[in-house]
Amino acid sequence: MNGKIPGSSRIGILTSGGDAPGMNAAVRAVYRAAHELGIEVIGIRRGFTGLIEGDFFLMDRSHVANIIHLGGTVLGTSRSEDFKTFEGRKKSAENLQNAEIDALLVIGGEGSFRGADLFNDETGIPTIGIPGSIDNDIPGTDFSIGFDTAINTALEAIDKIRDTAISHGRLFFVEVMGRSSDLIAIESGIAGGAEYLVLPGDQNAITELCTRLTDAFHAGKRYAIVVVAEGERPGCSFQISQQVSEQIAIESRVVVLGHIQRGGSPTARDRVLAAKLGVSAVNAYTKGHAGVMVGELRRSVVLTPFDKVITGRQKPEPNIIRLAQILTK
């Protein structure tokens, strides 16, 4: 890779952690915004792993052509244990300095921002985050890139599962992703007309579910869709299905959507959000900001310090939970 043009600025960009639809749209927005300002953009492959190994390349327009509609990330991603060490972060800083890179943009989730926060503080290299996660559990933004696509993917699956549930008169448990956030389950459950939601931490969920299902089937209902949030236990729907089967006599099936929710072409909403946050991240760098994440709250772009992002947790608002309680009955 050639040295940078004298007097110019150069930023690096990487995607880290779990991939999310819309990450490519964000990479494209960063490149285009930087190019307009005369800033060179260095792509970093495979997230923090590539940062440690110096896997860099100078981006040009061809690298962001025809990627806005693609799922995944053209830069590649990883979860790096080495970056959690001081030695790994020190090696990363040396690589950036050797490549004459002035700042680092990180697209990822809460775990990625923990590393970015340490890196920014330890090295003094300006680091800015862009929220990309299907879980939508990142404080400082109403929505993270990828969430809208994920709930639409889950909704499409629920609609198709309902067809066979009606045909066979069955109970289906549909497990969706989201880790500690319940938002994919809540919003896809509402939109998909689920008969019940099972969320982590609800101690009375099985008893209440069995009561509701018994009443519904006695009243003549022939099928039901139950949306389950995976929480910290992916695959928990199988245990829930078994517990329900032990209490009521009804044929059931379990569908774990899993990683299908991470893939696919991003929705219009995710593409627009990615574009807005990508451009805003470049603008934040040019204005001297560092150690912050760009986000959107109430349709306005805001900057939130990493330390507030990584110590908080985006939780469902009470009104959306109440809405789910009313509609999933």
Question: Taking the C-alpha atoms of 87, 90, 96 and 98 in order, what is their torsion angle to the nearest 10 degrees?
Answer: -100
Distance CA 10, CA 35 (A): 10
Catalytic annotation, pick one of 19, 117, 135, 148:
135
Q: Answer yes or no: is pLDDT of 246 > 80.
A: yes
CB-CB contact of 110 with 309 (8 Å): yes
Task: Provide φ and ψ at 185, rounded to 5°.
Answer: -65, -45
Q: Answer yes or no: is pLDDT of 4 > 70.
A: no
pLDDT tier at 5, thresholds 50, 70, 90: low
Six token digits for residue 244? 């329900």
pLDDT tens digits for range 150-165? 999 999 999 999 999 9
Alpha-carbon distances, residue 49 vs 75, 92, 164, 171 (angstroms): 12, 9, 44, 44
Distance CA 36, CA 25 (A): 17
pLDDT tens digits for range 311-329? 877 777 778 878 887 877 6
Q: Answer yes or no: is pLDDT of 20 > 70.
A: yes
Q: What is the pLDDT of residue 329?
A: 60
More confident: 178 or 189:
189
Strands 9-15 and 196-198: unpaired
Q: What is the pLDDT of residue 286?
A: 97
What percent of the chain has pLDDT above 70?
97
Q: What is the pLDDT of residue 2?
A: 66
* pTM of structure: 0.94
- Say whether 102 is catalytic: no
Q: What is the pLDDT of residue 97?
A: 97
Q: Answer yes or no: is pLDDT of 200 > 90.
A: no
- Burial (CB < 10 A; 0-12, 13-18, 19+), residue 63, is middle
What percent of the chain has pLDDT above 90?
81
Q: What is the pLDDT of residue 1?
A: 66
Domains of the chain: 9-146+266-311 (3.40.50.450), 147-263 (3.40.50.460)
Distance CA 184, CA 209 (A): 20
Helices and strands of the chain, counted as H and E runs: 12, 11
